[in-house]
Copies of this chain bind each other. A is one copy, B any other.
């Protein structure tokens, strides 16, 4: 009888009362701009919100229920074309407060994840030609995103008449997210091209 006897019924309390999954704040962030139906939210979440967070609709609907239970959103029904009614969701005052609190709370230092860099880390075991092909494909992907993001930037600039949006305007958030995306894609593309140069230089030497 030397071991420490532990409780047979494990009581896990590692989720604080106010802890919500990140997708909930993606939803609140969208609803803070304007009310939307579940379908519209699902469509918005299919393409990454703020360029760096996406979710399928299967994650959305339970999230909306949970947010409503907590009083952070409400909904109004209207007849839909199909077998189910359309629900238009609106953020509440409590929801807006929860979003603001979350937005400025320092996030725990989470490790970023990038599977492509992990592949690059092991690229030395593969054929250099195949590695070059991989990087060319990846570069193309980021080039395409850059073009898209530049288009978004022009749209935002045109919409706000040249001046950057004030820090209380919704466009401020778009502006921040977009510029992060632009910097990210530019840096990534430069890295891909640098890697291709390195591979080319090594190929010429041999």
Interface residues, chain A, with chain B CB atoms under 8 Å away: 22, 25-26, 28-29, 32, 48-54, 96, 99-104, 106-107, 109-128, 130-131, 133-134, 137, 141, 164, 166-177, 179-181, 183-184, 186-188, 190-191, 194-195, 198-199, 201-202
Contact = CB atoms under 8 A, between A and B. Distances in A.
Contacts of A171: 124
A137 B26 CA distance: 22
Nearest to A137: B106
Nearest to A128: B167
A164 B130 contact: no
Chain A, interface SS category:
helix
Contacts of A54: 111
Contacts of A175: 198
Nearest to A198: B164
A107 B116 CA distance: 7
Which of A28, A134, A168 neighbours the largest number of chain B CB atoms within 10 Å of its CB?
Answer: A168
A96 B55 CA distance: 34
